[in-house]
Structure 1
Amino acid sequence: MRLSIIGFLAVGAIAAPAGHVLHEKREFLSANWQKKHAIESRALMPMRIGLTQQNLDQGHDLLMDVSDHTSPNYGKHYTPEEIADIFAPSQNSVDAVTAWLTSAGIARDRISQSWNRQWIQFDALAHEAEDLLKTKYHVYEHTEFGTGNIACDEYHVPAHIQEHVDYITPGIKLFATKPKSTGRDGLQKRTFGVTGKAPVLPPLMKPLPQPLASLKALSLDLICGVAIIPECISAMYNITKATKAAPNNKLGIFEALGDVYSQEDLNLFFATLASNIPQGTHPELRAIDGATAPNPVLTAGPESDLDFEISYPIIYPQGSVLFQTDDDVYQANYTYEGFFNNFLDAIDGSYCSYSAYGETGNDPKLDPSYPHNVPGGYKGNLQCGKYKPTNVISISYGGQEPDLPAYYQKRQCNEFLKLGMQGISVLIASGDSGVSGRPVTGDNGCLGPNMTVFNPGLSLKPFPPS
C-alpha cells in the first residue's frame, strides 16, 4: 500500500473543508483489503496524534559536533535524557494541537500526553473524530487473514496545525497481523541475510586450497594470498597486540536469523590459530526476546563463528558481548521482511514507542511480535531497554534497501543517529558486494529493466560507518 503525506493540495485535487488542508490520503486500496461498512457514529475510538519532532534537521550537525576530533565538543556525548529533550516535540506544538482540540469541543480533561511527549491522546466518539478531521471512518477487512481495521481514506487538519502533526491514528494505514503458527512443523533453518523481495542467500564460502598445516608452514605473504588468518589482519591493518581490558568496554556483536556460534568451533580456532586465547573464552550473552546461544557444533552458524574468530584475536584480552536476537522459533523460520527493530528496542527503551514518519514502535507487518505463544516461543513481552548498549557494536548482516519501506528505514536511521550522539559506534559490514545489494539476477546487482539502477545495500545509511 502506497501512502503519501501531502503538505499542500495539488491543482485539481478535491477541495478541502474551509480552513482545513489534506494531511494524509491513501492513493489506492490494496487488493488484500476490502472496505466493509461505515463505523457506528457512537463507537468510541482511541485517538492518537503524533507530534512533529524538532531538531531532526540538525541531527547530523549535532552528531558531528561531538564526533569530529577538531570540534571543541569532541567526546562530550549526550545522555539519553538530553537526546529525548533535543528531539521531543516543542511545547509550541503541544499547545497548538491542544488548543485546536479544545476549540473543537474536546474537553481539556479528556486530553493527555504520552510519557515520551510524542503523542497527544484522547478518546472520541466516531462522529466527533469525523467532524474533527473532516473524514469518514469505515471498517476494513483483510481478505486473507480476516483481521479488521478502522481507517479512513483521507483526513484533514487546520492549515495552521499541519506543521505540528506528523500523523494521526486511526488514519489511513491498514495493519494486518498474520495468524500465529501453532507449532514447529515444517520449520527450516535459515541462513544469512535479511528476508525481503529478494531470496535469502548463504554466505560465500569455499574450501582451503591445501591443508591448514601446510599453509601455516608458508611465509605470511603466501598464506595471506589464499587465506586470512589473524596475522594477516594484523599485518594489513597494522594492528598491534592488545594488552589491556576494560570491563565496561566490551565489543558488542549482533547476531540473528538462526546463525549462532559454537563454543567447540571457537575452541578449535583458538587452539589452531590464536593460541594466546584460553580455551573456553566466550562472549557474554545478552539474549534478546528469548534468544539462545551457543549452539552444538553440528548446528553452528558460520557467520557467527567467523565474527568471533575475526574479532577475538584483535581485541583479546578485551571481552565481547553477544546480542543474539529473537526466539528460536522465529530464528528458525524468519518470514518477516523487517530487521534490527527488536535489537534496537532492547538497547534503547525509548525506541519501542518512538514515533516518526507515520510509524510508532515496531511494524506489525514487518517485525516479529511478542509474546510469541507457540511451543518454544518466547512468552514474555517485547524487551524494551533491557540492556545497556556497548560502546562499539558490530553488525555483519546485510540486505537491499528496496526490500523495506522508506519510512521504516528512516526511523531506524534516526535511532542510529541518536546512538552516535551518545558515543555509541555502530559498524555495519558492507558485505560481499560492497555497498550495493548482492546480485540475484544479472551479474551486477543493479535494478531496472536494463539493470542500470544502483541498488544500495542496507549498510548505506547516513550514520553507521560501513
Structure 2
Amino acid sequence: MRTLITWCALALAAVVSAAPAKECAHKVKESIPPPRLWVKERPAPKDLTIELRIALPQPNFFELERHLYEVSDPFHERYGQHLSKEEVEALVTPHPESIHSVNEWLASHGLTESALTRSPANDWVRVKVPISLAEKMLDTEYHVWRHTKDDNYIVRTTSYSLPENLHEHIDLVQPTTLFSTLRGMDTTFRFSQDTPAPLSADAPPINIPSASGGKVDASCNTTITISCIQQLYNAVGFKPSGKNGNQIGITGYLEQFANIADLQSFYADQRPDALNSSFKFISVKGGLNNQSIEEAGAEANLDVQFAFGLTHPIPGTFYSTAGRPPFKPDVLTPTNTNEPYTDWLDFVLSHPNPPQSISTSYADDEQTVPESFAKRACNGFAQLGARGVSLMFSSGDGGVGDGDSDPATQQCFTNDGRNKTQFVPLFPPACPFVTSVGGTVHVPETAVFFSGGGFSNLVGVYILSFVSQFLNKLPKGTYAGLFNPKGRAIPDVAAQADFFRIFLSGRIISIGGTSAASPTFAGIVALLNDARLSKKLPSLGFLNPLLYAIGANFPKGFNDITIGNNPGCGTPGFNATKGWDPVTGLGTPNFGVLKDIVTGPLARF
C-alpha cells in the first residue's frame, strides 16, 4: 500500500490557539485476509458514491453497560428503571477532543458540517463521498468483489489506514472490511406453494400438560396457526389492552414488503376479530411500501402476520429499511453500503418511543463481521435495551453451520485465511445484548433440525452457569476445536419454526425457519409487556438476565426441549438436552406461567 501524507489536526488545545496544522502519516487501522469465497474482480469505479460511517469512541460505554445489567436484573433494586433516550445518549457521547479531531480531518478533505450526518449522541458521523475521495482519506484501494458461491457483488477493501493521531479518536470506518451480506432466515428449502393438508376434524387432541387446558389440536402437529401458538404456549384467553402504550415492531430488509391484502386474508382465516386493522409503516432511509400483490415478501408476510396476529390489538409497526445488497456493478447505487440493519439501528435510536418488543429475521455469518464493527453494533443494541426495548433475532437456519460450507464435504471453514474447519454462528444473534431465538417443530415439540446454535468466536460468555452445565455434560473432546467453549452461547430460547400457514400473493402457503420462531417469541414478549403495563409496571427491556433467572428459579416458565439436534458442517451438531442447550436454549415459553412471574414475584416497581 502506498504511503500517503495528509494534513491532520493537532491536539485540541493547539487547534484552539490557531497553531498551524502539521503533516501526519497514515497508519493501518484495520486489515483482514482476503475473505473466503470472495474474489477480487476489478477496481471499484472512482465515481461510485458510498456513504462512509465513522464511529467515534464511546468512553463511558462501560457505565451504560452497568446501568443496562442493573435495570435488567430482576433481583437488583433498580430492576425496570430504564434509562431515557437522553440519559443513554449522554453515556455514549464521545469526548469533545474526538469530535473536534474528526471534524478537522474531514474538513481537510473539503467535508464541512453541511455534508455530514450525525447520530444524536455524536458517536457516529456519516458522509457520502466518491470512491476516489474515500481511497484518499483511508489510504486504500476499493475493488469490486464477487462471491463465487452465489455470484453476488460487493465493493470493499481488505485494509484501510487513518492518520496516526486519529486512531484514538476513531473506532472504525465502514464500509471497508465488512463483507457481510445480510440475508433473511426463512428456510426456503422448506417453502411450499401447496396448501397444507389438514388432519381429519375428528382427530383427537394431543395431550400437552403445559398447554392451555392441557391439550393441543392434532392439526397443530403439521400446520401452525395463531390458535396453535396460543394453545401450545398457554396463552388462550389472554386479551391484551392495546391502549396502555404497548407496541410491537418488525424489521424488514432486502425489499421484503409486508402486503396488507395478504394480512387481511390471514386475519379472515385465523384472526377474524382483527379484520380491517393494519400496522404502522415506517420507511427508513427510503425503504419502500410496495403493495403490489406480486411483490409481497414471504419473509415480511410471515413476520407480520404471526407477530401482529398473535398480539392484536397491540399496535404494530413494520420498518422497511432501504438498501438491497449486494452491489450490482452495472447499477451505481449511491446509498448501497450493505449495512441496512445498522441504518435501522441509527434510525430507531433517534426516536423517543420505539416499540418495546422488536423482532428481526435477518443475519449473516459472524466471521464476515469485523470485531470492531460487531462491538459497535452490539453497543447500539445495548442502548435500546437500556431504554426498555426487547430485541429478538432468529438464531439461523443452518444448524451449527450457517456459514459458507463446502458443497462436496459440507464442512465449514474459517474466513481468516487459514481455512480452518470450524462451526459458524451468526451475527447479530451472537450479540450479548439481544435475545437469540432457535426453533422447534411438531407437537409434542422437538428441536427442528435447522435451528441455528453454537458459540460465538467474537463475544465472551456472560451466562456462565447454564453454559458450563451443558459443556460439562458433553463427552470430553466432542467437536474439539470446532467451537469456542468460552464464547457467547446461542440461542437463548426457542419457539415453533416450521409449517406456518400464511398468505403470500393471495395464496395459502406453508413456510418455516427460525424467522417464524423470532416473531412468535416477540409476540409472547409483547403479551407479557401488555400484562405488565396494564399493572403500571415498566416493560421488560433487555430480556436475557430475566430469562436465565427464570430458568434457574422458575423452570416451569419454559418448556424444556430434550429431543433433536442441529446438524451442520458435516456433523450431527449439538443435541437438545435437559436444561439449556445450543439448539433450543432454555426452551419454549409458557406464557401463563411467565405472566404470573413477571407480574408477581419478579415484577418490581
Which category of TM-score, normalised to the shorter sequence, fits these structures?
0.5 to 0.7
Give the match for residue 342 of structure 2.
Answer: 341
- Match for residue 267 of structure 1 among 264, 267, 283: 264
What is the percent sequence identity of the aligned residues? 22
Deviation at 1:455, TM superposition (A): 0.6
Cα distance, 1:340–1:217 mapped onto 2, change above 3 Å? farther
**Mapped pair 1:432 → 2:394:** no
Give the match for residue 431 of structure 2.
Answer: 461
Q: Which moved more, 1:399-408 or 1:321-330?
A: 321-330
Deviation at 1:323, TM superposition (A): 0.8
Q: Match of 1:391, as an amino acid?
A: Q
Q: 3-state SS of the aligned residue for 2:74? A: coil
Per-residue displacement from partner, 1:90-111 (whole Å, max 9, x unpaired)?
Answer: 57x679x99xx9xxxxxxxxxx
Larger strand percent: 2
Report if the CA contact (8 A) 1:391-1:424 is conserved.
Answer: yes
Deviation at 1:79, TM superposition (A): 1.2
Report if the CA contact (8 A) 2:256-2:299 is conserved.
Answer: yes
Cα distance, 1:262–1:141 mapped onto 2, change above 3 Å? closer
Report if the CA contact (8 A) 2:258-2:300 is conserved.
Answer: yes
Give the match for residue 72 of structure 1.
Answer: 77
Q: How does 1:7-156 map to 2 (within 5 A)?
A: 24=28, 52-89=57-94, 116=121, 155-156=163-164
Cα distance, 1:119–1:312 mapped onto 2, change above 3 Å? closer
CA distance in 2, matches of 1:418, 1:219: 48
Report if the CA contact (8 A) 2:92-2:121 is conserved.
Answer: no
CA distance in 2, matches of 1:317, 1:138: 50
Give the match for residue 548 of structure 2.
Answer: none
Q: 3-state SS of the aligned residue for 1:286? A: strand
CA distance in 1, matches of 2:183, 2:252: 21
Report if the CA contact (8 A) 1:337-1:403 is conserved.
Answer: no
Cα distance, 1:452–1:290 mapped onto 2, change above 3 Å? same
- Match for residue 232 of structure 2 among 219, 236, 252: 236
Per-residue displacement from partner, 1:235-288 (whole Å, max 9, x unpaired)?
Answer: 32222333221263121111111211222322222222223x332221111122
TM-score, length-scaled by structure 1: 0.59
CA distance in 1, matches of 2:95, 2:142: 37
Cα distance, 1:405–1:202 mapped onto 2, change above 3 Å? farther
Q: 3-state SS of the aligned residue for 1:63? A: helix
TM-score, length-scaled by structure 2: 0.46
- Measured on the aligned residues, the alpha-carbon RMSD in Å equals 5.0
Q: Of the two, which has the highest radius of gyration? A: 1
Runs (4+) of structure 1 moved beyond 6 Å?
20-23, 26-34, 136-141, 173-176, 196-201, 327-335
Give the match for residue 279 of structure 2.
Answer: 283
Report if the CA contact (8 A) 1:292-1:324 is conserved.
Answer: yes
Give aligned pairs, total: 342
- Match for residue 251 of structure 2 among 247, 251, 254: 254
Deviation at 1:342, TM superposition (A): 1.7
CA distance in 1, matches of 2:170, 2:163: 13
Q: Match of 1:427, as an amino acid?
A: M
CA distance in 1, matches of 2:349, 2:92: 15
Q: Match of 1:347, as an amino acid?
A: V
Cα distance, 1:29–1:296 mapped onto 2, change above 3 Å? closer
CA distance in 2, matches of 1:247, 1:331: 43
**Mapped pair 1:300 → 2:296:** yes
Q: Match of 1:265, as an amino acid?
A: D
Cα distance, 1:217–1:28 mapped onto 2, change above 3 Å? closer
Per-residue displacement from partner, 1:408-448 (whole Å, max 9, x unpaired)?
Answer: 22211110011111111111111323575256535767324
Report if the CA contact (8 A) 1:338-1:404 is conserved.
Answer: no
Q: 3-state SS of the aligned residue for 2:319? A: strand
Q: Match of 1:307, as an amino acid?
A: D
- Match for residue 354 of structure 2 among 389, 393, 404: 389
**Mapped pair 1:400 → 2:351:** no
Give the match for residue 419 of structure 1.
Answer: 384
Q: 3-state SS of the aligned residue for 1:344? A: helix
Q: Match of 2:282, as an amino acid?
A: R
- Match for residue 412 of structure 2 among 427, 439, 446: 446
Report if the CA contact (8 A) 1:292-1:328 is conserved.
Answer: no
Give the match for residue 43 of structure 1.
Answer: none
Deviation at 1:233, TM superposition (A): 1.4
CA distance in 1, matches of 2:188, 2:387: 34
Cα distance, 1:256–1:203 mapped onto 2, change above 3 Å? farther
Report if the CA contact (8 A) 1:195-1:336 is conserved.
Answer: no
